[in-house]
Amino acid sequence: MHSVRLVHCQTPRKALTTKEGCSVLHPSPSSHHTQFLTIEGGEGVGKSFLSNGLKAKLEALGHRVKLTREPGG
């Protein structure tokens, strides 16, 4: 199975141009178990776009993915 490198950034736009404020999320030894990932941000910043793209990429790599949303979101 392929691995996907996830990066956590305090300011998402910085992730596009620099690694400042960002850190790589390392998989735990139990990474084959269920993982829960959250994507946060203000209205209109691209959370759905990012979520759908990430879902497609992970599924293409053979992972099972389920998208959820907060109530009202």
Give the Å distances, CA to CA, from 38 to 1, 55, 71: 23, 12, 14
* pLDDT (0 to 100) of residue 69: 85
| CB contact at 8 A, 47 and 39 | yes
* pLDDT (0 to 100) of residue 52: 92
* pLDDT (0 to 100) of residue 37: 84
Task: With CA atoms as reference, report the closest residue to 39 among 65, 61, 62, 18.
Answer: 65
Residue carrying structure tokens 């497609």: 56
> What pTM, to 2 d.p., does this model score?
0.55
Each residue's pLDDT tens digit in the chain (73 positions)? Answer: 455 566 666 555 544 555 565 665 555 555 566 788 888 888 899 889 999 998 998 888 888 899 988 876 5
Give the residue extent of every domain in the chain.
6-60
* pLDDT (0 to 100) of residue 14: 47
